[in-house]
Structure 1
Amino acid sequence: MKSLQKVKTAVIGYGKISDIYLTNMINKFEIVDVIGCGGRDVEKAQEKAKLFGIKGMHVDEIMDNTEIELVVNLTPPTAHYEIIKKALEAGKNVYTEKIVTPDLKEALELKELAKKCNLRLGCAPDTFLGAGIQSARKVVESGGIGKIVSCHAAVNRDMEFLYYPGAFHTKHGGGIGFNVGIYYLSALLSILGSVEQVSGFAYNTKPECKVEDPSSPLFGESFNVDSENIMVASLQFKNGVYGTMNFSSNTIWPQVPMLMIYGTEGILHLPDPDKFGGKVYLQKKGMSDQIEVPNSYGYGENSRGLGVAEMAWAMRKERPHRANFNMGCHALEVLSGVVKCSETGQVQRMETDFELLPALPEGYLDNYFGRNQECALIV
């Protein structure tokens, strides 16, 4: 691998998700040089940073540090707009956890600000860059199931035991569609491209809940939930494919992920898009059984931060990055369109779009899956 200057990076946010991001960015991706972890509570930032041998920083210290090129924003969605805007104004490129922001207008404002400042914005989920969805994309693009005609995504969860007053899951942008369904939608977008129009329903069928955790001091306390717990939608993609989505957080554990693409010559069963790996199954016309699709891609393990590393390589190679803000904004508009359709009873046409970039290259054990998986991210 040709040696290039590493991208000095800082993480903002010290919640649970930061552990896997920091582990992978520090140990897995050579292009990323993580120098700090920060937030508004310096003590918590320092506690987290100490675990990884990096510096704990106040968010303002990160913004003022001219060496830092890339900020990875792992704060709750309700804080995304403020943090991303502040980072852009400080001259930093930004990669943010999903969703881009709970509000589409704010997301588009940030997109224009990044363009004005000549800076990059990236956005999770990056699971579509993993072995599972990349393998599925190869089958589709090679004509393995013929002409694509439709697709379906569904997931169930029982989220109430995670709810407590003030939890981000209970706020706008934290419901089943925006917090979980976006993995399924992003996987479909990464294979099929952008959506033309949407219709559907998004409702909260249980707006008042009680704290169910008996170990909580708030056990039994009632509180309001503002986020949707069911989202059902129909999609028309620009390429003529039609799809459906059914997301519910008012049902049972364990969740049962379902992601399928239907073609004139077969059906493709995709793995859980909330994960990077998983098996892909193909059922061809005339076959009663499914066959497992051989995988020749890297990153089948938990690779949170993969999108950050791919973006860092794109910065150095001066090419577009794959987990980009255009795709993130489009996913947000699709989900927001379902909500708006519920409110107006009218089909919503999408105004955003994104360029479907090439899949990651395939590789063999010695090239990508062994000592140097990162080779796959260079191109």
Structure 2
Amino acid sequence: MINETVLLESRTLRDGVADRTDVLDRVKALSLLPDGTHVTTAMIAAYFQVGIEAIKSLVKDHREELDSNGYRVLTGPELRSFKDLSGISARTATLALFSRRAVLNVAMLLRDSEVARQVRTYLLDMEYLARTGPVENFVHRPPNNLHDLNDNDPAGLDDRIDRRITDVLGKTVVPMLNALIETAGEQRRDLISVREDMRRAQGKLAQHTQRLHRLERAREQRPLGGVMAAMDAMTWREFEQHIAGLLRRDGCTDVRVHGGSGDRGADITAHTADGRRLVVQCKNFAPHRSVWSGEMQKFVGTMTLHHAEAALYVATCPFSREARDIAVQAGVTAVHRGLLEAWSAGTALSVLR
């Protein structure tokens, strides 16, 4: 059975998902240097919650692979130029830099890190690959017209679902098995058997998925589920724009989306309908993730910096108990996944009334 450990063994698989750097921020917020592109060895060690020596050892063992994904060491004039451009004042003769792609590469190689393990698991999550890949996915894409949801044409619906499932398996799971078979050695025969079982299972999986779709369409709350599925598939920029739209819908004025470096910790600023200055943090995290106390404390500092009279921390995941306690003490409205679902469906937040 394929799990996150396969990425530790197969460079072919790592190369196949090296562009999916967005998963880093979905698992945990990644801080960048002022240039908005790179991180240092110390920063990457902090992200993965390991010692700096662990990162240095990994670089030594996998230097060629990391180099191909954007790792570089600056010295001399190149280092001075980078310091001038990025505003870094550290006095050092060399500076190792990791691109986001190189950070993801480290996540796929680092064994003794729970954060790295979560990144690997998220990369191989079937639902995530189906939602963000090139496959046209019925579950996570709203229908173009009512005919798309019409059970009067079950043959056409079943055929579309079957094709999508076949595409997902054919473009993700089976290629991974092929790559493993090439590199596995003594496990080759077992992997070939798994691959054949997977191909035979496609038909049965399609049948079960068809039934699932019919049950989902019958649920009264299906529109809400569709909203959350759409938000899970958004990029962080799209998610911020979505939240800005909800603020405007509920009477906020002067709504400005900042995002990226230089936003001083505020993704969105606005004024409520009664004139209070509002600051908003948006986190489009994976549903299994949680907002931690340190992240909430950082946002409380942002409130002071922006002289905010009201604050929202909006996330597509739960908040830890400590984060909720800090939010209550600081007057921050913590908009968790369930509350966000209701807000998107039309329920106004009490802080905006």
TM-score by length of 1: 0.26
Q: Which has the higher contact order (CA 8 A, sep 6+)?
A: 1
Higher strand proportion: 1
Q: Look at both structures and tell me which one has the larger radius of gyration over its CA atoms.
A: 2
TM-score by length of 2: 0.27
